[in-house]
């Protein structure tokens, strides 16, 4: 635990194993392409706040994104029943197989 109270799982005031279990739910949910920042924070007398940024493919229909977010919330509540607030931010993710393109495919347009 750091001086600020946050541990390496982005958790404050909660068991790091529970925070890791939440990250595993996010990574393991079908339809979630990438998982960005995850924060798990115990809110005094109010339970636990979970926030996460989840990446979806650019052609994923909105209805599918909504269904996946619903499934992610179910998984989080199963892993941490005391989660009183869950905030999920969907974003468009780059395809996983394009994570390391060869440098000759990167084009930078000059100002000339």
Q: Is residue 56 domain-resident?
A: yes
Query: Which of 77, 90, 72 lies closest to 18, judged by CA?
Result: 77
| CATH number, domain with residue 25 | 3.30.70.1350
Give residue 21's domain range.
11-94
Give the global pTM: 0.71
- Label each residue of 39-104 as H, E or C: EEEEECCCEEEEEEEEEECCCCCHHHHHHHHHHHHHHHHHHCCCEEEEEEEEEECCCHHHCCCCHH
Between CA 77 and CA 71 the distance in angstroms is: 10
Q: Is residue 20 domain-resident?
A: yes
Q: Is residue 105 domain-resident?
A: no
- CB 93: neighbour CB atoms within 10 A? 19
Q: Is residue 108 domain-resident?
A: no
**pLDDT tens for the 112 residues of the chain, in order:** 444 444 444 556 667 788 888 989 999 999 999 998 888 888 877 788 999 999 999 989 999 999 999 999 999 999 999 899 999 999 998 765 555 555 554 555 555 5
Q: Is residue 107 domain-resident?
A: no
Between CA 101 and CA 105 the distance in angstroms is: 7
């Amino acid at each position: 635990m750091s001086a600020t109270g946050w541990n390496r799982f982005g958790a404050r005031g909660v068991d790091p194993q529970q925070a890791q279990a939440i990250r595993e739910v996010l990574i393991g949910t079908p339809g979630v392409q990438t998982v960005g920042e995850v924060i798990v924070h115990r809110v005094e007398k109010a339970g636990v706040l979970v926030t996460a940024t989840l990446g979806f493919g650019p052609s994923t229909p909105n209805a599918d994104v909504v269904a996946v977010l619903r499934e992610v919330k179910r998984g989080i509540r199963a892993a941490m029943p005391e989660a009183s607030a869950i905030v999920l931010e969907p974003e468009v993710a780059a395809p996983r197989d394009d994570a390391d393109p060869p440098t000759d495919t990167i084009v930078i347009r000059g100002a000339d």
